[in-house]
Amino acid sequence: MKNSEVKKMQALSIRRDDVVSDENWFQMMEDIFLGYEIEVIQEEEAEQKAKEDAEAEEACKRG
């Protein structure tokens, strides 16, 4: 499972009743979604790098 999926599941599992105040709840959600966005960006960058590496390797084999 990707880290971004774990972050998203974490956010969805938090119930508002579990947090003492609205301010704390919003801060927790902001932190979790920031983590989610970072994970998505890192996963996309890793996929792009892997694709570029595979294309470069294929070019070297042909050349």
pTM value is: 0.63
What is the model's pLDDT at position 15?
Answer: 67
Total domains present in the chain: 1
Our measurement of the distance from residue 61's CA atom to the centroid of its chain's CA atoms, rounded to an integer in Å, reads 34
- Tell me: pLDDT of 45 over 70: yes
Range of the domain at 37: 3-62
Q: What is the pLDDT of residue 53?
A: 92
The full DSSP string for 14-59 is: --GGGSSSHHHHHHHHHHHHHHHHHHHHHHHHHHHHHHHHHHHHHH
For residue 19, which phi and psi values (nearest 5 degrees)?
Answer: -110, 140
Using the 8-state DSSP alphabet, how is residue 63 labeled? -
